[in-house]
């Protein structure tokens, strides 16, 4: 039996043993996601070369013992073995998140077979990269957004089961069985809807406030996500994103308000400082990336996370 044949017939995707293996894979994929988060936003940088990681402090090439996900960071107490430069907590955290999204994909998709397990794992991993880059730099890497806009139609055509219950796909399906063309149509409708809604929101926001309310990266990301989750899934993902984004936005303004108030108190300013503090907090708290919440919505819908989807006011499920 060939290696590929072995992989394709590998028996028990749903077994605990395979789940354990897949989560361990997720840890190593998490290490690779760190490289992507670090290098994607840098013009001209490649994630493949240099292939070995270096310490930015002493430029020493790291050995395999220093590249073990999470473990190396813990054993080295978050410092480089050569120069003792601190290693950012983001590295072990992203590795753990890699393991977590591989676990969630396994829970959600293992029963549907290899193609769904791999698809969900890759898409969630890409969303993790988009999330961290957007938090850090207020931009979404084209490798994820444009890459996703290319991948979504191809995957939809090759894997019609992805849109087996899609509104457009079912309407176009010959005899009720969703084929590649029906699935591709659902994908394109989802892309147009996801990208279109965000483009429209951005246009309205710019009219209303005069500033760029929505980055074009968000439009591209939601177009890609819409192509993967379909028309209905796009509605659901947008609701999750708007709800989570608004909640964090309000908490962020509250946080700045408390910071400003604490500063005023130290300077012993009287209570009329409150409206001033609120105004300052609203300005400081205004700039929040939206990509992470779009990623959250797309991920939840892709995993078909019913506990969350059932809570949506317009679940349409
Ligand atoms: Zn070093």
Query: Structure tokens of 113?
Result: 């077979």
Residue 4 has pLDDT above 80, yes or no: no
Query: Structure tokens of 97?
Result: 């998140």
Q: For the stretch 72-106, what's the b/e string if a residue is b when 16 or more beta carbons lie within 10 angstroms of its beta carbon?
A: bbeeeeeebeeeeeebeeebbebbebbbbbbbbbb
Residue 7 has pLDDT above 70, yes or no: no
Do residues 141 and 160 touch, judged by C-beta distance below 8 A?
no
CA distances from 81 to 56, 87, 217 (A): 12, 10, 38
Distance CA 169, CA 228 (A): 13
Please tell me the distance between residue 77's alpha carbon and the centre of ligand 1 in angstroms. Answer: 13
CA 39 to chain centroid: 17
Inter-axis angle of helices 216-266 and 180-209, nearest 10:
40
Please tell me the distance between residue 87's alpha carbon and the centre of ligand 1 in angstroms. Answer: 9
Please tell me the distance between residue 86's alpha carbon and the centre of ligand 1 in angstroms. Answer: 8
Q: Tell me what pLDDT residue 134 has.
A: 94
Query: Structure tokens of 14?
Result: 């749903």
Distance CA 138, CA 126 (A): 16
Distance CA 191, CA 186 (A): 9
Please tell me the distance between residue 286's alpha carbon and the centre of ligand 1 in angstroms. Answer: 37
Give the closest residue to 143 by CA, choosing from 213, 47, 30, 212: 47
CA distances from 8 to 107, 115, 128, 180, 203 (A): 19, 10, 27, 22, 47
Give the closest residue to 124 by CA, choosing from 256, 245, 200, 30: 30
Q: Tell me what pLDDT residue 115 has.
A: 94
**Cis-peptide, bond into residue 50, ω within 30° of zero:** yes
Distance CA 295, CA 128 (A): 8
Domain boundaries, the chain: 10-137, 144-317
Please tell me the distance between residue 231's alpha carbon and the centre of ligand 1 in angstroms. Answer: 49
Whole-number average pLDDT of the chain: 89
Please tell me the distance between residue 48's alpha carbon and the centre of ligand 1 in angstroms. Answer: 21
pLDDT digits (tens, 9 = 90+) for 166-215: 999 999 987 878 999 999 999 999 999 999 999 998 888 888 877 776 78
Residue 240 has pLDDT above 80, yes or no: yes
Distance CA 231, CA 183 (A): 11
Distance CA 3, CA 170 (A): 37
Distance CA 259, CA 261 (A): 6
Residue 119 has pLDDT above 80, yes or no: yes
Q: Tell me what pLDDT residue 284 has.
A: 77
Please tell me the distance between residue 84's alpha carbon and the centre of ligand 1 in angstroms. Answer: 6
Beta-ladder partners of 209: none
Beta-ladder partners of 79: 86
Q: Tell me what pLDDT residue 308 has.
A: 85
Please tell me the distance between residue 54's alpha carbon and the centre of ligand 1 in angstroms. Answer: 8
Please tell me the distance between residue 107's alpha carbon and the centre of ligand 1 in angstroms. Answer: 38
Please tell me the distance between residue 76's alpha carbon and the centre of ligand 1 in angstroms. Answer: 11
Q: What is the pTM of this model?
A: 0.89
Give the closest residue to 37 by CA, choosing from 25, 49, 45: 45
pLDDT digits (tens, 9 = 90+) for 56-65: 788 888 888 8
């Amino acid at each position: 039996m060939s290696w590929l044949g072995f992989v394709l017939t590998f028996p028990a995707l749903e077994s605990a043993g395979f789940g354990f293996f897949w989560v361990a894979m997720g840890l190593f994929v998490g290490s690779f996601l760190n490289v992507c988060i670090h290098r994607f936003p840098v013009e001209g940088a490649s994630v493949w070369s240099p292939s070995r990681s270096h310490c930015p402090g002493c430029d020493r090439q790291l050995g395999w013992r220093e590249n073990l996900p999470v473990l190396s960071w813990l054993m080295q107490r978050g410092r480089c073995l050569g120069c003792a430069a601190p290693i950012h907590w983001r590295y072990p955290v992203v590795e753990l998140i890699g393991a977590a999204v591989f676990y969630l994909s396994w829970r959600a998709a293992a029963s549907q077979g290899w193609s769904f397990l791999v698809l969900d794992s890759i898409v969630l991993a890409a969303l993790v990269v988009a999330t961290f880059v957007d938090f850090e730099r207020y931009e979404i890497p084209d490798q994820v957004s444009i890459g996703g806009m290319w991948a979504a139609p191809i995957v939809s055509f090759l894997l019609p089961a992805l849109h087996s219950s899609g509104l457009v796909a079912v309407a176009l399906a010959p005899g009720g069985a969703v084929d590649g063309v029906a699935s591709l149509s659902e994908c394109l409708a989802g892309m147009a809807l996801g990208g279109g809604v965000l483009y429209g929101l951005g246009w309205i926001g710019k009219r209303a406030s005069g500033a760029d309310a929505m980055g074009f990266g968000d439009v591209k990301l939601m177009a890609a996500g819409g192509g993967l989750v379909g028309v209905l899934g796009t509605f659901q993902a947008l609701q999750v994103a708007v709800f989570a984004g608004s909640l964090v936005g309000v908490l962020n303004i509250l946080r700045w308000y408390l910071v400003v108030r604490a500063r005023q108190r130290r300077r012993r300013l009287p209570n009329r400082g409150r409206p001033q503090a609120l105004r300052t907090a609203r300005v400081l708290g205004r700039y929040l990336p939206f990509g992470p919440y779009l990623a959250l919505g797309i991920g939840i819908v892709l995993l078909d996370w019913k506990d969350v989807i059932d809570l949506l006011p317009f679940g349409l499920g």
